[in-house]
């Protein structure tokens, strides 16, 4: 009988907080595109005698994120020194958190979160032919790290989780999470285990004796592909009787495969100890409650509300994934109640037909009122529905098998095809009538 292996995936997400100043000094934190080494001081350069002081806003935003992710906020937290030597680390250590982070034990989409903690970012290394340059503008920028338990089981699940997490952080307005600019960086820890007792929750005793870390992934697509590649690579090794090396690997975008970088360190290799220049922080329940009151409506709640107000699941999901579009649509809905007009406005915003800077929400509503096309006739609606059903037989089959979510997808396709002219309620009833026959 062939051996079966369970994929065990843990995720580490780094997000630069968009505070005005760095984590432990007054230097500006907005480093992207600035002249190299133009935003530095003795503190972030690690010069002798320079003392750090904690950024209060960064701490509050980290706690805010932890609360949004259903975490426990610790009333006592401390900073630690993480010791390692690398050119991007001016002090020879990084101020981070180890055993007493700000937030612990959260969850999102069924994946447990081990911790949400705060540290300082490293410098940026610029590799050129024959030399490597170091830009210290990024050194010391507040960096929030979110670490999951090893609860993801495949690349698709990890990708969906990361997209949702990015949405939440953007809604909180604590980070841009722009992977092209490096303000959100992703790392994957992956290993394969043979038949653990619980397929969903693998205990620490059941974890394999090795772990492969894939670093510096800068897109959700690359995360999924890197995981899929590693599953194939590690499965082949295990089936041949060899255990994969514990190592750090990179992702080659051209070859679409991972490659070995170095052996992976354990926590004890970093020789963590409490940061002597920063005393432990006490966080009162009153402070935690004040931050909790500042939490905005989260993406899942906003999407549900948009659907209740007349949008399809597809329209609501796309708007929520773009906070600027969602914010603009919120203002449009203050002056419009008609469901057909709401759908027309949503489609115009989703399809980038509106210049947000030049067109006010009231002007958009006026345009829709003046140019509103006639409602879709019953015969035309039936024709579009039949075309959509022919094009998406799997969704139709899913509905007949009891998957209610399929009807939302089909309604969204009809609304898109009709350019918002179809009435969502009539469309839903018409689709159900056809599929129930």
Q: Does residue 264 sit in the same domain as residue 309?
A: no
Q: Does residue 343 sit in the same domain as residue 413?
A: no
Cβ–Cβ contacts within 10 Å for residue 294, how many? 11
With respect to residue 75, please indicate whether it lies within any of the assigned structural domains: yes
Q: Does residue 160 sit in the same domain as residue 264?
A: yes
With respect to residue 1, please indicate whether it lies within any of the assigned structural domains: no
**Chain segment 138-170, per-residue pLDDT in tens:** 999 999 999 999 999 999 999 999 999 999 999
With respect to residue 199, please indicate whether it lies within any of the assigned structural domains: yes
With respect to residue 223, please indicate whether it lies within any of the assigned structural domains: yes
Q: Does residue 381 sit in the same domain as residue 255?
A: no
Domain with 393 in it: 375-437
What pLDDT, on the 0 to 100 scale, is given for residue 179? 94
What pLDDT, on the 0 to 100 scale, is given for residue 1? 35
Q: Does residue 108 sit in the same domain as residue 212?
A: yes
With respect to residue 271, please indicate whether it lies within any of the assigned structural domains: yes
Domain boundary among 257, 290, 323: 290
Domain boundary among 335, 357, 372: 372
CATH number at residue 427: 1.10.10.410
Q: Does residue 234 sit in the same domain as residue 341?
A: no
Number of domains in the chain: 3
Q: Does residue 193 sit in the same domain as residue 268?
A: yes
Contacts of 240 (CB under 8 A, 6+ apart): none
Confidence of residue 79 (pLDDT cuts 50, 70, 90): very high
Using alpha carbons only, give the angle 405, 221, 120 rounded to the nearest 5 degrees: 115
Q: Encoding tokens for residue 366?
A: 């006026």
- In order of 217, 285, 302, 326, the CA distances from 321 in angstroms are 21, 32, 10, 8
Q: Which residue from 18, 182, 17, 219 is spatially nearest to 88, judged by alpha carbons?
A: 182
Q: Does residue 413 sit in the same domain as residue 318?
A: no
With respect to residue 198, please indicate whether it lies within any of the assigned structural domains: yes
Cβ-count burial 101-140 (b if 16+ within 10 Å, e if not):
bbbbbbebeebebbbbbbbbbbbbeeeeeeeeebbbbbbb
Q: Encoding tokens for residue 338?
A: 């008609």
More confident residue, 285 or 380: 285
What pLDDT, on the 0 to 100 scale, is given for residue 341? 82
Q: Does residue 157 sit in the same domain as residue 216?
A: yes
With respect to residue 411, please indicate whether it lies within any of the assigned structural domains: yes
**Chain segment 323-346, per-residue pLDDT in tens:** 889 999 999 988 887 777 888 889
The answer to whether residues 77 and 101 touch, using CB atoms and an 8 Å cutoff, is: yes
Q: Does residue 273 sit in the same domain as residue 419?
A: no
Q: Which residue from 205, 211, 159 is spatially nearest to 13, judged by alpha carbons?
A: 159
Q: Does residue 256 sit in the same domain as residue 313?
A: no
What is the average per-residue pLDDT within 285-306? Answer: 95
Domain boundary among 372, 407, 426: 372
What is the average per-residue pLDDT within 404-408? Answer: 80
Q: Does residue 79 sit in the same domain as residue 193?
A: yes
Percent of the chain with pLDDT over 90: 66
Q: Which residue from 119, 156, 108 is spatially nearest to 9, judged by alpha carbons?
A: 156
Percent of the chain with pLDDT over 70: 96
More confident residue, 75 or 415: 75
pLDDT at position 121 over 50:
yes
């Amino acid at each position: 009988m062939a051996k079966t292996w369970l994929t065990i995936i843990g995720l580490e997400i780094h997000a630069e907080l968009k505070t005005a100043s760095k984590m432990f000094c007054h230097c500006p934190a907005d480093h992207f595109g600035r002249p190299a080494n133009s935003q530095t001081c003795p503190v972030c350069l690690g010069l002798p005698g320079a003392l750090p002081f904690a950024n209060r806003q960064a701490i509050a935003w980290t706690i805010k994120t932890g609360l949004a992710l259903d975490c426990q906020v610790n009333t006592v937290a401390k900073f630690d020194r993480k010791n390692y030597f690398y050119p991007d680390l001016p002090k020879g250590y990084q101020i981070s958190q180890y055993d007493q982070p700000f937030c612990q034990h959260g969850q999102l989409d069924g994946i447990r979160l081990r911790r949400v903690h705060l540290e300082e970012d490293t410098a940026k290394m610029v590799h050129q032919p024959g030399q490597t340059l170091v830009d210290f503008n990024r050194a010391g920028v507040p960096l929030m790290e979110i670490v999951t338990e090893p609860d993801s089981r495949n690349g698709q699940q990890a990708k969906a989780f990361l997209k949702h997490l990015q949405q939440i952080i953007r809604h909180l307005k604590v980070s841009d999470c722009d992977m092209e600019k490096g303000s959100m960086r992703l790392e994957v820890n992956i290993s394969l285990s043979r038949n653990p007792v619980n397929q969903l929750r693998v205990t620490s005793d059941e974890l394999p004796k090795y772990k492969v870390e894939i670093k510096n992934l800068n897109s959700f697509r690359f995360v999924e592909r890197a995981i899929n590649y590693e599953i194939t690579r590690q499965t082949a090794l295990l089936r041949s009787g060899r255990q994969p090396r514990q190592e750090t690997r990179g992702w080659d975008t051209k070859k679409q495969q991972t490659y070995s970088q170095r052996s992976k360190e354990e926590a004890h290799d970093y020789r963590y100890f409490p940061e002597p220049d920063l005393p432990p922080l006490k966080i009162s329940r009153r402070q935690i409650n004040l931050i909790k009151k500042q939490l905005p409506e989260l993406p899942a709640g906003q999407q549900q509300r948009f659907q209740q107000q007349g949008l399809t699941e597809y329209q609501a999901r796309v708007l929520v994934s773009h906070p600027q579009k969602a914010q603009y649509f919120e203002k449009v809905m203050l002056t419009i109640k008609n469901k057909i007009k709401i759908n027309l406005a949503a489609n115009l915003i989703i399809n980038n037909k509106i210049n947000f800077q030049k067109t006010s929400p009231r002007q958009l509503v006026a345009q829709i009122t003046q140019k509103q096309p006639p409602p879709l006739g019953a015969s035309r609606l039936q024709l579009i529905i039949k075309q959509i059903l022919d094009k998406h037989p799997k969704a139709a089959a899913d509905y007949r098998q009891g998957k209610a979510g399929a009807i939302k997808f089909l309604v969204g396709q009809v609304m898109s095809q009709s350019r918002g002219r179809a009435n969502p309620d009539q469309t839903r009833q018409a689709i159900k009538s056809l599929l129930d026959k």
